[in-house]
Structure 1
Amino acid sequence: MTGKALVTGASGFLGRALVPALLASGASVIAAGRGQSPFAAHPRLAWRRIDLADPAAPLREITSGVDCIYHLAWSTVPSEASLSPAEDARANIVGSLRIIESIAPGAAPRLIFASSGGAIYGRLRQAPASEDHPLNPISAYGLSKRTVEAYLDLFADTIGLRPASLRIGNLFGPGQNPERLFGAVTQFSKAALTGAPIILFGDGSTVRDYVYIDDAVDALIRAAQAQNSSRALNIGSGEGRSLNDIIACLEAQLGRPVKVERRPPRPFDTPLSILDPSRARREIGWSARVSFEDGVARTLKSLADAAT
């Protein structure tokens, strides 16, 4: 894309992959995060250290004049959100509202929100789930994502905001932090490489729709370019992989068994999440291109290289 983009949560896994892709496409980028910039200096990149939930944060300064806002900032993962729902709501729902409210009257940037393809639907009535599936999250994390989507719909109808909520499946790939307790493929890969036991909650039958990081970045950019897509788009492979499948894939690629430490299931984990990506294919021309096995191989290589 060309023009000027704002990326919130730019120091996170998805943001650190998106910002270089936007720069490579010719865009000027304001990247915002709560810490120091993870990016090398670039003439079309400006870093802003900002906490979205801070009432004093100069948000009008970073939203002014942008053509697209990629709202990726999210301070919790499902396990953290369930421990403190009030803090999750303060940081993420209120922070998202501050970004929306900072948009100047009359401005109508495209706003791409990184929603959740798993937690927002809750227990599936049918799989794969289309965007019309009921939204019944069973976790604070999913409820917060659903709430922000609802606010985006409200502001689309009242101030002309042009949002698209991308309900992204379980992200994985090089650059994901295995210490964050989020991202089974990356966590399992790190444990398998180091000989540590894989921590498995439940019997391993939990199924998720895994999306490689490069495919997710492609979806974000395509959604920004498609100015009139639906307000909600599933970004998934349309295929489910269980936790046991991940372990089997790692054993096949490493050529040896891995250690597994079993623990009780967690109440906020839905048993099945598979997304129907056909709307994204029709409306923004997106489909997953990196196979699960290839993505796991790239993740293993990245972790192994980082350890040497």
Structure 2
Amino acid sequence: MSTSGTGPVLVVGSRGLLGEAVVREVARRGRPALRAQVRWGADARTDLAQALDQALEAAGESPVQIAWCAGVGVTATPQEVLDAEYQTLCAFAELLTGLPEATRHRMTLFFASSAGGVYAGSPSQPPFDERSPVGPLAPYGRAKLKAEERLVELTTSGIRVVVGRIANLYGPGQDLTKQQGLISQLALAQQTAQPLGVYVSMDTLRDYIYVDDCASIVVDMMDRAHQLDPGSPAVTKVLASQRSVSIAALIGEMRRIHRRRPRVVVAPSARALQQARDLRLRSVVWPDLDHRPLTPLAVGMVSTGEDISRKLRVRGRSRS
């Protein structure tokens, strides 16, 4: 895939699952990846301003790309937490619009959104793509759409904006404390012999994309967008493997890998009302970016399990 970008990439949320992978991908391509060191809370705006200044200084007159991969929100996140995240994002948007015009015209911003969050209640039939009407069922999905809309406004100031509506992301580096990521939670349950409560039907269909594959598409999206004229309309793309897998099939694959079945308990919950049973996805925007070999699900599940095993060993040593 052609890489037109030459300047630095500022990664916001660089310690998260996607952010870490984007940093690795940028470095793999021989380009500088800058990690925004942000104290989320009252100091976030100050830290984001400092990170932006550092990126602009490193770029000189070169293009600047920003990958916003931050976000602690999940489906069950309280509204006040989502509101605080949105205010921080708005503060960053204000920083960008306050830059000189020439600087804005060489900037590209990627925003990591959620395909599951925005399409969960779509009135159209799956598979969902960029043309499908959105229909979030939970505050998390509505917050993602609101953030998308705010950042898309930046195109009027000359900044190129690309939005990635990402499928279920998985791989090494998942934050297990967020209770997010079914593959990671299954692997954790398998290795700790603890039961995992699943509150949706076993025939629920989801699209799982390995984090390194997703990061590669993210960087390609930013490079492609840089070739557009300043202020071009924002581009939204679904980032997915475009293959659906049921929860029952995931459990079966985990059993095949580990030669024993993970302990799964179907636990009905009101949260199931915020989940769609069928979230098959596809992309019709910049489809050539999807023409690449993707990590097979079984291979990705093994890598994820090995990462969790290492973390458990480290945790065990720290307690001994």
Q: How does 1:168-247 map to 2 (within 5 A)?
A: 168-227=166-225, 228=228, 231-247=235-251
Q: Secondary structure at the match of 1:102?
A: helix
Q: How does 1:6-21 map to 2 (within 5 A)?
A: 6-21=10-25
Query: CA shift at 1:56, angstroms?
Result: 5.0
- Please give the root-mean-square deviation of Cα atoms over the aligned residues, in Å: 2.1
Letter in 2 for 1:237: S
> Whose relative contact order is higher, 1 or 2, with alpha carbons under 8 Å and at least 6 apart?
2
TM-superposition CA deviations, 1:110-136 (whole Å, max 9, x none): 001001111111224221111011111
The 1-side partners of 2:193 and 2:242 are apart by 32
Relative to the length of structure 1, the TM-score reads 0.86
TM-superposition CA deviations, 1:180-236 (whole Å, max 9, x none): 200000001110122111211133222211010111110111111102396100100
Question: In the alignment, is the contact (CA less than 8 A) between 1:172 and 1:210 conserved in 2?
Answer: yes
Q: Go from structure 1 to structure 2 and tell me whether the alpha carbon gap of 1:60 and 1:306 turns closer, same or farther (over 3 Å shift).
A: closer
Structure 2 unaligned blocks of 5 or more: 314-320
Query: CA shift at 1:53, angstroms?
Result: 6.3
Which residue number corresponds to residue 316 of structure 2? Answer: none
TM-superposition CA deviations, 1:67-91 (whole Å, max 9, x none): 10101111221112xxx21331222
Question: In the alignment, is the contact (CA less than 8 A) between 1:110 and 1:162 conserved in 2?
Answer: yes
The 1-side partners of 2:293 and 2:167 are apart by 11
Give % identity: 24
Q: Secondary structure at the match of 1:126?
A: coil
Which residue number corresponds to residue 304 of structure 2? Answer: 299
Q: Secondary structure at the match of 2:111?
A: strand
TM-superposition CA deviations, 1:117-165 (whole Å, max 9, x none): 1111122422111101111111111111111111222221x21121100
Select which of 143, 156, 160 maps to 1:162. Answer: 160
The 2-side partners of 1:186 and 1:268 are apart by 21
Query: CA shift at 1:94, angstroms?
Result: 1.4
Question: In the alignment, is the contact (CA less than 8 A) between 1:122 and 1:137 conserved in 2?
Answer: yes
Q: How does 1:43-58 map to 2 (within 5 A)?
A: 48-51=37-40, 54=43, 57-58=46-47
Which residue number corresponds to residue 285 of structure 2? Answer: 279
Query: CA shift at 1:12, angstroms?
Result: 1.0
Q: Go from structure 1 to structure 2 and tell me whether the alpha carbon gap of 1:255 and 1:247 turns closer, same or farther (over 3 Å shift).
A: same
Structure 1 unaligned blocks of 5 or more: 33-47
Greater helix content: 2
Which residue number corresponds to residue 255 of structure 2? Answer: 251
Which residue number corresponds to residue 79 of structure 1? Answer: 76
Relative to the length of structure 2, the TM-score reads 0.83
Q: Secondary structure at the match of 1:49?
A: coil
Aligned residues: 287
Which residue number corresponds to residue 136 of structure 1? Answer: 135
